[in-house]
Amino acid sequence: MDAIRIYGGNCLDGQTTIQGSKNASLPILAATLLIDGICEIENCPEISDVFHMQRLLESLGCTVEREGTLIRVNTAGLSECDMPSDSVGVMRSSVMLVGALLARIGRICMEYPGGCVIGTRPIDLHLRSLRRMGVTIEENENGFRAETAGIKGAFLTLPFVSVGVTENLILAAVLADGVTTIEPAAREPEIQTLCDFLMQAGARIEGSGTDRLVIHGVEKLMPVRFRVPADRIVAGTYLCACMCAGGRIFLKDAPAGHMESVLSQAVAMGAAVEYAPDGIAVTGMDHESASEFIKTGCYPAFPTDMQSPFMVAMALSGTGGRIEETVFENRFRIVPELCRMGADITVHGNTAYIAGQSRLHGAIVQAKELRGGAALVIAALAADGTSIVTNRHYIDRGYEDIVLSLRDLGADVELA
């Protein structure tokens, strides 16, 4: 049952609670390797990427226990071992283990990490920066081995902003000998959350939330209990579902403060957003109006992870629009599938041109990556007739139970 069946054409009405953040949970779980003792991480989403990270930690000798959304990590048995290739190969975030393991035990051997095929995303910049911190790296066609007698602080000027590189270098630097400066550093909320976790454990980090991080290495970190914030991308996905299908919903715990660009685009496209202390209420968009242009970028710009859901909204609008993708070069893999549902979209280089229309029709379509798969489900909610979205495993990488959440919001969906 690796598919979702959606009966379209129904307005949404209901409430769902937004899960913990995938993109914050994964680097925090990697960061537990830096701490000798037991850390408790609350509100970790029950998604496949987190399960793979648990397996990787266990393969390294850690004891990992889960009680619902609480994960308890004990690193007492940490050692260098061969990590399961199926977990490394399917999850890009496994690269974060590099900085943490080098800082804690001074060596790592792993295959090149995988994940969704939305761009090349080479790890050259990770390895180049780590070499400047005193790490020796030997590469082969399948992976690499890295060793260090001790991480050294360094002034690291990056050629472009990268969330993954920023996270990895933070993890390497907190136990380093000396001071590390990273600029330009990524400013995503998940970076700030990682810094919050590390500082609670005793790290010395200046500039969290800015494009310049200064990290003073410390001798050790202390075990902590930490709560992961809600997932801004999941909240944005369900917001788009309401925009496209119509109706009114409430997204409990939605982190509105980290969703400014998404919420402003939703309002520009005719949706109504109301703010409450415990979440946001959303009313579906006016299909006769739309924002004509979206350009993705690093935070606080419009997030690339929300590009596919908003493409669906543009396709259902009266005016259509265009989307320029500046982060990943292969993020338009959803386009042929949306066209099978009746959308009129053409792609030239890194820009998609979307013709506005009022209806889509049901079809059997294929998820090819995480966010595009969720966007196909959104399209199916608004389409006439029945749709089936295959390759549900991509969607499961980032959504705890998208079927249950959409049912809570009044959608007619089921596993298929």
- By annotation, the residues acting in catalysis are 116
Is 76 exposed, middle or buried (CB count within 10 Å of its CB: 0-12, 13-18, 19+)? exposed
114, 89 Cβ separation under 8 angstroms: yes
> Most distant CA pair in the chain: distance in Å?
62
Parallel, antiparallel, or unpaired for β 247-252 and 12-17? parallel
Tokens representing 271 are 């949706």
Report residue 63: phi and psi, to 5°. -100, 125
146, 107 Cβ separation under 8 angstroms: yes
* Cβ contacts of 168 within 8 Å, gap of 6 or more: 95, 96, 98, 99, 126, 129, 130
DSSP, collapsed to helix, strand or coil, labels residue 216 as strand
* Cβ contacts of 141 within 8 Å, gap of 6 or more: none
Sheet holding 143-147, edge to edge: 107-111, 143-147, 136-139
100, 75 Cβ separation under 8 angstroms: no
* Cβ contacts of 105 within 8 Å, gap of 6 or more: 78, 79, 80
Q: CA 78 to CA 60: how far, in whole Å?
A: 6
